[in-house]
Amino acid sequence: MPIVQISRIQHRRGKRTDLPQLAAGELGWVIDEQRLFIGNGTVSDGAPAVGNTEIVTSGSSAFTTALNHTYKGYLGDSTPITTSQQRTLQKRLDDYVSVKDFGAVGDDSTADVTAIQNAINEIYIDTDTTVSNDKRARRILFFPAGTYRINAALKIPPYAHLVGEGPDKTIIRNSGNNAVMVTQDTSENVGESITALVDQIQISNMTIKNSVAYGGMSIDRASKLYFNNVRFEGSYASGGEDDSNSKGVTVTSSTALACTKINFNQCQFSKFARLVDMSFDVDNVRFNNCDFSEAYYGAIFGDEWDNSTSNGMTLGPRGIHFTGNSWSDIGLQAIYVKPKNVTSSEAPSRNIVSYGNWYGEDVANNFQGVNSLNEVPVIQFDQDECTSMLDFFERTDQRDTDFGDSTDPSNTPPEVQGIGIHTKAIRQITLSDNTSTATDTGIYLPGLSDKGVRITYKINRGTTFRTGVMVISAAGEFCTANDDYEESNGDAGVTLTAKTSDGDSTGGNDTIRVQYETTNNAVLGDATMEYQIQILV
């Protein structure tokens, strides 16, 4: 007789919370989650561990086995790091947030401004304020490689930390009539409406680009900003006219909320009429190992300063330091500290320092080329407490004996002009034995009026040694010099003097020549002189 019916086989079933330890091969159906499990069996039977194993069904996640994450280190299973902390895949992925999670595309076609601003506000404003300034909300916002097209300024709040994949990879390109980025407070106020100092902003590894003649970054009423490996790029073309709207970086302040502590490290500034333009109160700004190129002005300070105590221009820019930067293809001054344009007991733009910078030969010649008749100083300090120290100037006419063309030497101004100190790098020259008439040392200085020159030097000649300071006072076509020194082990037999050249009959436009004479002494022979020049410009 054929079997037409057998008894129905029942397996365990119930809710997920009630699932017991199943016997080896026993099935358990979780009714509320529609999931199926089978018992592992015992370790003595060969199971890797006692427990239940889920059988993948339509109710299971395709990532079931990956939903729990345990950090094992770079060697993985071979030598795992001991940790019992297990996290879900969701929590692991939430350690990282991308603008693409909010809908940004980065294809240089899609309008990404709304998506990016939503991401910024959600992470650094909405979430943060909702949980009472919980620091866990302040995650890094990542911009994968691409060009993100915007047409309105991105508003950057406190604690924002924006990171791209590099200036040539992540580009935020603005096509609207505004700056690419501005700062905002936690109430989403910008500009003059900001009510609390905006602080702790970091931006790195991206290009901030404006394809129209407007600014790059406007730092408004902000403190503690850090830019690392960021390119600020505009639309200015070399040889163009000045445009005060085209500013790579600028600041605005109020009297109560003044900008301070701003750092640029390994950044690039190019194609703005003014790469850096600061007139409002700001202090403690550092530019380190940056590149400045293709602009009308490099960095200009105090151009709009008016000593108005009501709009954040009480003191002007102060404590701005440029260290180890390079400058090229700039029409007028690389650094220009403007004079005050109102009567005031306070002078703007103090302590502007250039230290160890490189200035190319195509700087400060009105885009007319080297030795043109339209040159201006490479650095111009028209306020006090300013310094140029150990800078290198490639402009070749500044290394010639004639400071300008033969008919009008005034057409070539000095490297550094205005009010301040210019300290040059140490150099070495040879003073030949038996030079009985005053002979040029090769030290040439612009003989402009009211300049003080201090040359600190040492001379080695045979077994003799001299250290001294030569002070030169320049007054147009005339100069006086005083050489004060101490010698050891005898007389070095060297006399240093200074005179002005006869290049021009107009006072204030001549060249100072430092000259020397030596005694006839075959035993001592030639002398070696190392010197450093310091000019009160």
Q: Tens of pLDDT along 435-465?
A: 999 999 988 887 655 678 899 999 999 999 9
**Residue written as token pair 């691409």:** 146
Query: Percent of the chain scored above 70 by pLDDT?
Result: 83
CA 409 → CA 90, 372, 380, 401, 474, distances in Å? 73, 12, 18, 11, 16
Structure tokens at 420: 């301040």
CA 363 → CA 245, 278, 298, 359, 422, distances in Å? 22, 20, 9, 7, 18
530 forms beta bridges with 428, 458
Residue 339 per-residue DSSP state: P
What is the DSSP secondary-structure string of 370-414? TT-TT---SEEE-SSS-EEES-EE--GGGGSSSSSBTTBGGGS--
Q: Tens of pLDDT along 152-186?
A: 999 999 999 999 999 999 999 999 999 999 999 99
Structure tokens at 255: 């009297």
Low-confidence winner among 143-147, 212-216, 282-286, 313-317 (lowest mean pLDDT):
313-317
CA dihedral 268, 336, 307, 273 (to 10 degrees): -50
The C-alpha atoms of residue 160 and residue 186 are separated, in whole angstroms, by 11
The C-alpha atoms of residue 392 and residue 399 are separated, in whole angstroms, by 11
Instruction: Mark residue 50 as left, alpha or beta (left: phi above 0; alpha: psi -120 to 50; beta: remaining).
Output: beta
Residue 79 CA, distance from chain mean position: 42
| Per-residue pLDDT at 92 | 77
| Per-residue pLDDT at 379 | 94
The C-alpha atoms of residue 297 and residue 277 are separated, in whole angstroms, by 9
**Residue written as token pair 């009510």:** 195
Helix (H, G, I), strand (E, B) or coil at 65: helix
Which residue type occupies 198?
A: V
| Per-residue pLDDT at 67 | 66
pTM over 0.75: yes
**Residue written as token pair 């940790």:** 83
Contact 376, 332 (CB under 8 A): yes
The C-alpha atoms of residue 256 and residue 254 are separated, in whole angstroms, by 5
| Per-residue pLDDT at 310 | 61
Structure tokens at 268: 């690039």
Q: Tens of pLDDT along 191-237?
A: 999 999 999 999 999 999 999 999 999 999 999 999 999 999 999 99
The C-alpha atoms of residue 305 and residue 349 are separated, in whole angstroms, by 9
The C-alpha atoms of residue 1 and residue 337 are separated, in whole angstroms, by 111
Query: Please, what is the average pLDDT of the chain?
Result: 86
The C-alpha atoms of residue 209 and residue 233 are separated, in whole angstroms, by 5
What is the DSSP secondary-structure string of 88-120? EHHHHHTT-EEGGGGT---EEEEE-HHHHHHHH
Helix (H, G, I), strand (E, B) or coil at 13: strand
The C-alpha atoms of residue 394 and residue 486 are separated, in whole angstroms, by 34
Run of H or E residues at 352: strand 350-355
| Per-residue pLDDT at 400 | 44
Measured in Å, how far apart are the chain's first and last C-alpha atoms? 121
Q: Are strands 222-233 and 259-265 parallel, antiparallel or unpaired?
A: parallel
**Residue written as token pair 């220009």:** 336
Low-confidence winner among 255-259, 289-293, 368-372, 383-387 (lowest mean pLDDT):
368-372
Q: Tens of pLDDT along 359-415?
A: 999 999 888 877 666 778 999 998 888 999 999 998 765 444 444 444 444 456 778
Q: Report the residue count for the chain.
A: 537
Q: Are strands 439-447 and 416-418 parallel, antiparallel or unpaired?
A: unpaired
Half-sphere exposure of 533 (CA within 13 A, CB side): 19
Residue 7 per-residue DSSP state: P
Q: Which domains does the chain have, with CATH numbers?
A: 12-60 (no CATH), 96-235 (2.160.20.10), 270-425 (no CATH), 427-536 (2.60.40.1680)
Contact 359, 392 (CB under 8 A): yes
Query: Would you place residue 102 in the very low, low, confident or very high pLDDT band (cuts 50, 70, 90)?
Result: very high
The C-alpha atoms of residue 284 and residue 61 are separated, in whole angstroms, by 55
| Per-residue pLDDT at 402 | 46
CA dihedral 169, 170, 175, 178 (to 10 degrees): -130
Query: Percent of the chain scored above 90 by pLDDT?
Result: 59
Q: Which contacts (CB < 8 Å, 24+ apart) does range 17-20 have?
A: 19/52
C-beta neighbour count of 267 within 10 angstroms: 25
Render the burial of 365-399: b for 16+ CB within 10 Å, e for the rest: beeeeebeeebbbbbbbbbebbbbbebebbbebbe
The C-alpha atoms of residue 43 and residue 207 are separated, in whole angstroms, by 58
CA 134 → CA 41, 130, 203, 536, distances in Å? 46, 9, 21, 53
CA 367 → CA 27, 237, 247, 395, distances in Å? 84, 11, 19, 13
Contact 476, 502 (CB under 8 A): no
